[in-house]
């Protein structure tokens, strides 16, 4: 399955560019734009028998590592909004280090591309012992996490070879958005909002095709950053996860120190590092955080004279994937197999 690079030089590059198709596959047969009645709905076979239990949960907890954790963080606001249930975030190893309380009426969603990450699997064992309902979101049919959870959804992104996750990240977010839609499907007051989200999801592959046209622009930006020591990314709201994931990509493959910062926290620390030399990416989309991000930009501009800003209406993560890819190639590093990292970490 899809194991040659085709016209691309690297797997990461191929996987970035095939996202319109991988997202279409993730949604296929699951999002229904009903014929003449124009009824829009979501159908997730692997969850349907458990939705009632999930809706009655005391809380929903996301557990993952690395990019999978970031995907869950990206989906959190939409799940909170549509389920009206508190949604907590847990890094698998940290939950175990703390032996954090887990309850019988918790729904725990395990997010893992490989379905084999040891930390996530150990957290799954712990959650099962504590009686929680365990849901698996993986890209690997038959993986340990898929087998050992009570129910779940495969993201169907196709095999991902590049160690740094790209297309699996976007498919995880889309699948988690569909999970949120399924959990909220009975709520009359959010019907219009849900239909709007379904429509946006169905239009996403086309939007991504547009954003991928930024390739050359991102290469130019990468060229200007090639000898930097560090890169800071600011995001908030839906784009907090974008900032963390953008920085993770730059660290993983371009081997450059990078930090994703919640913009609301800027004044509580990072601002001290801002000077003329520190390169900063501010992620801004037209959402409820737009004006707050504008004031962040103003505050930063007051401290420096030159800046480059990435601006797109939607799909804000894609340009950062392209940026990390080009930065790596230009710096001469191995983009598909970064030093010291493994695609799937099966030891604790």
Chain positions contacting ligand G6P, by CB under 6 A: 65-68, 112-114, 117, 120, 163-165, 341, 343-345
Q: Nearest distance from residue 114's CB to ligand G6P, in Å? A: 3
Selection from 27, 53, 63, 245 nearest residue 153 by Cα: 27
Give the nearer residue to ligand G6P in terms of CB position, either 55 or 343.
Answer: 343
Distance between CA atoms of residues 323 and 217, nearest Å: 9
Which candidate, 322, 311, 325, places its Cα nearest to that of 281? 311
Residue-wise DSSP of 97-163: HHT----TTEEEEEEESSS--HHHHHHHHHHHHTT-EEEEEESSTT-HHHHHSSEEEE-------SS
Q: Smallest gap, in angstroms, from Cβ of residue 189 to ligand G6P?
A: 34
Instruction: Decide whether 137 or 323 has the Cβ nearer to ligand G6P.
Output: 137
Q: Which is nearer to ligand G6P, 54 or 164 (CB)?
A: 164
SS3 185: coil
- 43 vs 141, beta carbon nearer ligand G6P: 141
Cβ 320 to ligand G6P shortest distance, Å: 15
Kindly state the smallest distance separating residue 65's Cβ from ligand G6P, in Å: 4
Nearest Cα to Cα of residue 326 among 250, 217, 222, 242: 222
Shortest spacing between CB 327 and ligand G6P, in angstroms: 17
Nearer to ligand G6P, 107 or 166 (CB): 166
Least distance in Å: CB of 66 to ligand G6P? 3
Residues shown for the chain: 348
Which residue, chain included where needed, has tokens 């046209």?
213
The tokens describing 207, both together, are 């939007």
Whichever of 83 and 114 has its CB closer to ligand G6P, that residue is 114
**Residue nearest to ligand G6P according to CB distances in the complex:** 66
Round the CA-based radius of gyration of the chain to a whole number and report it: 20
Angle between helices 317-331 and 167-183 (to 10 degrees): 160
DSSP letter at 59 equals E
CB 113 to ligand G6P: min, Å:
3
C-beta of 106 vs 116, nearer to ligand G6P: 116
């Amino acid at each position: 399955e899809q194991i040659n690079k085709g016209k691309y030089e690297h797997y990461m590059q191929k996987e970035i560019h095939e996202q319109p198709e991988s997202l279409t596959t993730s949604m296929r047969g699951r999002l229904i734009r009903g014929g003449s009645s124009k009824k829009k709905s979501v159908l997730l076979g692997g969850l349907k028998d458990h939705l009632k239990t999930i809706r009655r949960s005391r809380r929903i907890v996301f557990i993952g590592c690395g990019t999978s954790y970031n995907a869950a963080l990206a989906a959190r606001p939409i799940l909170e909004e549509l389920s009206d249930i508190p949604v907590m975030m847990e890094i698998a190893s940290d939950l175990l280090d703390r032996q954090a309380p887990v309850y019988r009426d918790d729904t725990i969603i395990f997010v893992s591309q490989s379905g084999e990450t040891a930390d996530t699997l150990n957290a799954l064992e712990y959650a099962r012992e504590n009686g929680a309902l365990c849901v698996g979101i993986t890209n690997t049919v038959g993986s340990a996490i898929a087998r050992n959870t009570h129910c779940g959804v495969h993201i169907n992104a196709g095999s991902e070879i590049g160690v740094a996750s790209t297309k699996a990240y976007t498919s995880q977010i889309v699948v988690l958005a569909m999970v949120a839609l399924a959990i909220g499907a009975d709520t009359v007051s959010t019907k219009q909002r849900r239909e709007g989200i379904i429509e946006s999801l169905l239009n996403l592959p086309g939007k991504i095709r547009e954003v991928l046209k930024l390739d050359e622009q991102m290469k130019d930006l990468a060229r200007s950053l090639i000898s930097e020591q560090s890169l800071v990314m600011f995001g908030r709201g839906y784009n907090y996860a974008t900032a963390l994931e953008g920085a993770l990509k730059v660290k993983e493959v371009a081997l450059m120190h990078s930090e994703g910062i919640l913009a609301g926290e800027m004044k509580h620390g990072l601002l001290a590092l801002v000077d003329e030399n520190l390169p900063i990416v501010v992620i801004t989309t037209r959402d409820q955080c737009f004006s707050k991000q504008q004031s962040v930009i103003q505050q930063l501009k007051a401290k420096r004279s030159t800046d480059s800003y990435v601006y797109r209406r939607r799909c804000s993560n894609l340009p950062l994937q392209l940026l990390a890819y080009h930065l790596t190639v230009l710096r001469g590093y191995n983009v598909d197999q970064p030093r010291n990292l493994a695609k799937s970490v099966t030891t604790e």
